Amino acid sequence: MSENIIKVTGIKKYFGGVKALDGVDLVIKKGEVHCLAGENGCGKSTIINIISGFYTPDAGTIEIDGREYTKLTTQQAIEAGVQVIYQDLSVFPNLTVRENLAITMEKSSGRKFVSKKRFDEIAHKALSTIDFKVDLDEYVENLTVADKQLIAISRALLYDAKLIIMDEPTTAITQKEVKNLFEVIRGLQKKGISVLFVSHKLDEVFEIADHFTIFRSGHNVYSGPTKELNQALFTHYMTGRDIEEEAFVYEDRKDAKTVLEVKNLSLKDGYKDCSFSIKSGEILGITGLLGSGRTELAETIFGIHKADSGQIILEGREVSFKNVQEAMANGIGYVPPERNVMGLFMDQSISDNISVTRWKDCQKGPMMDQASIDSLVDRWVGELSIKIGNAADNMRTLSGGNAQKCVLAKWLALDLKVLILNGPTVGVDIGAKYDIYNLTKKLAESGLAVIIISDDIREVLLNCNRVLVMRRGHLVDERQTKDLDEETLSRLSVEY
């Protein structure tokens, strides 16, 4: 019997003339937590689709639990014990927990009639595998992302999963929920179930993974035990360059003006009595669990919500924004956490997305001045090193990191006083992440007031000179980041 659950050798995959994978190998042992890492476009998604039978490789061999497959189908992969939990989790939001857990198995059985008793039996069996307790009658759309994830894991285990592939499982969950997920993964490992963990977050994968494989541009660049890697080596293998982490240093000048001041701001069901200020050239961090009110606070400053009470003072003048347009006109920019939903027009061109905030200035009578738009787009594509094919290409052609740079470009095209970055590097690979960090620091050094909202503790400590902690809608603490470490800030952020 093979000690490996998966062994793929010399896998090649072409899409047209593009080599997505060029002879890669991947070996995952039984009961192992294996991390697959690499920047966007390196081939991670392609190898997952090949292992799960969705794509057929152009060359190479696939072996699952000692059996070699010449042409693996999705059904064969499932029967062999391969289950994939994608980023969208593939749950049905409009169905109950019970229905989500049982419907696939019930449908595959060929039965024509539904039995609540049978659904209950299936659901209880699924949840018991990871000791997860949840109301079976609750609609999945009302659950947290973390709970949806556990439902997806429970459902996968109904099919005697031997390998569970988790694609960016920690992107949208809190640190507390990450710890709970890791406990579940370790429980799976004890049962001999392997986990392929795909992630950009270095701290997390170092904590959970036994073994690493790193892809770059469709090639293997590293495979070995986690203990042989450190962050510097990991970053080098991922990006092909050496990146030095430098914490942001703010020089508190006496002539630095207070740009934004918030006094006793409150919003029903959002936050209460929040007060803080930020000076020119500062990078202020706001951290806390999801649901702490941090996003609602940012959205109020940006004009999405109207506060029930309190004051917003911009450059010494009290303001009250009726809408986003008024906030923009007053020099407030906001990069939302879900760029594909709120930050970009995904079905429009790269050019339109970058230039949209300046269209009013790029008009010649009733017509748009295309030369002005082209000049504007060329400038910001160059300044932010955005990797594009053509500015007329659809936004969907860009990687996460380059798409995020387009969101930044859109705001930097304006004359901003305050830039709010909410989850600035969510879903962004490591090279683009450090590019965004360096850009943020340069913006602050040029005098812009920057607010970073993030539950990535390392991100906050590396990029901010001060940090505010939110819990249950209240600002409960303020610290200088130079006086903090990751453990202390993490503890402050957790409700107790």
pLDDT digits (tens, 9 = 90+) for 440-495: 999 999 999 999 999 888 899 999 999 999 998 999 999 999 988 888 888 887 75
Residues 180 and 295 in one domain: no
CB 31 within 8 A of CB 49: no
Residues 231 and 321 in one domain: no
Structure tokens, 31: 């009961």
Q: Does the pTM exceed 0.75?
A: no
Does a structural domain hold residue 248?
no
| Cα 241 to chain centroid, rounded | 23
Residue type, 104: T
Structure tokens, 362: 């790029």
Query: By C-alpha distance, which of 433, 396, 59, 47 is closest to 218?
Result: 47
Sequence-ordered strand ranges (E) for 296-405:
309-314, 317-319, 332-335, 363-364, 367-368
Structure tokens, 250: 């703010």
Q: Report the DSSP beta bridge partners of residue 319.
A: 312
d(CA 464, CA 460): 6
Residues 288 and 192 in one domain: no
Quick one: three-class SS letters along 295-339?
Answer: HHHHHHHCCCCCCCEEEEEECCEEECCCCHHHHHHCCEEEECCCH
Question: pLDDT tens digits for 339-349?
Answer: 777 878 888 99
Into how many domains does the chain fold?
Answer: 2
Does a structural domain hold residue 409?
yes
State what percent of residues in the chain have pLDDT above 90. Answer: 46
Query: By C-alpha distance, which of 430, 387, 427 is closest to 233?
Result: 430
Structure tokens, 68: 């070699």
Q: What is the pLDDT of residue 3?
A: 93
Mean pLDDT estimate for the chain: 88
Residues 157 and 282 in one domain: no
Query: By C-alpha distance, which of 475, 414, 438 is closest to 424?
Result: 438
Our CA angle for 465, 286, 167, nearest 5°, is 110
Residues 123 and 262 in one domain: no
d(CA 346, CA 48): 25
Residue type, 197: F
Residue type, 205: V
Q: What is the pLDDT of residue 462?
A: 93
Does a structural domain hold residue 244?
no
Does a structural domain hold residue 458?
yes
Domain hosting residue 123, numbered range: 4-239
**Torsional sign, CA 352, 439, 280, 272:** positive
Does a structural domain hold residue 152?
yes
Residues 346 and 219 in one domain: no
**373 band by pLDDT with thresholds 50, 70 and 90:** confident
**Tokens 């911009």 sit on residue:** 314
**Of 181, 204, 239, which residue sits at a domain end?**
239
Q: Report the DSSP beta bridge partners of residue 494.
A: none
What is the enclosing helix (H) or strand (E) of 266?
A: strand 258-267
Question: pLDDT tens digits for 152-202?
Answer: 888 888 888 999 998 888 776 777 788 888 998 999 999 999 999 987 677
Does a structural domain hold residue 22?
yes
The CA radius of gyration of the chain, in Å to the nearest whole number, is 24
Does a structural domain hold residue 123?
yes
DSSP 8-class letter at 227: G
**Torsional sign, CA 239, 241, 244, 249:** negative
What is the enclosing helix (H) or strand (E) of 189?
A: helix 175-190
Residues 228 and 263 in one domain: no
Structure tokens, 233: 């080596």
Residues 77 and 187 in one domain: yes
pLDDT at 24 over 70: yes
Structure tokens, 332: 């407030």
Residues 185 and 268 in one domain: no
**Of 193, 208, 239, which residue sits at a domain end?**
239
Residues 219 and 122 in one domain: yes
Sequence-ordered strand ranges (E) for 290-435:
309-314, 317-319, 332-335, 363-364, 367-368, 418-422
Query: By C-alpha distance, which of 67, 15, 73 is closest to 46?
Result: 15
d(CA 119, CA 116): 5
Helices and strands in the chain, H and E counts:
16, 22
| 474-480: strand order across its sheet | 332-335, 418-422, 449-453, 283-287, 466-471, 474-480
Enumerate residues 6+ apart whose C-beta is below 8 A from 70: none
* CATH number, domain containing residue 331: 3.40.50.300
Residues 17 and 113 in one domain: yes
Q: What is the pLDDT of residue 178?
A: 82
**Quick one: average pLDDT of 274-285?**
96
Residues 308 and 205 in one domain: no
Q: What is the pLDDT of residue 170?
A: 79
**Torsional sign, CA 212, 216, 222, 223:** positive
Does a structural domain hold residue 253?
no
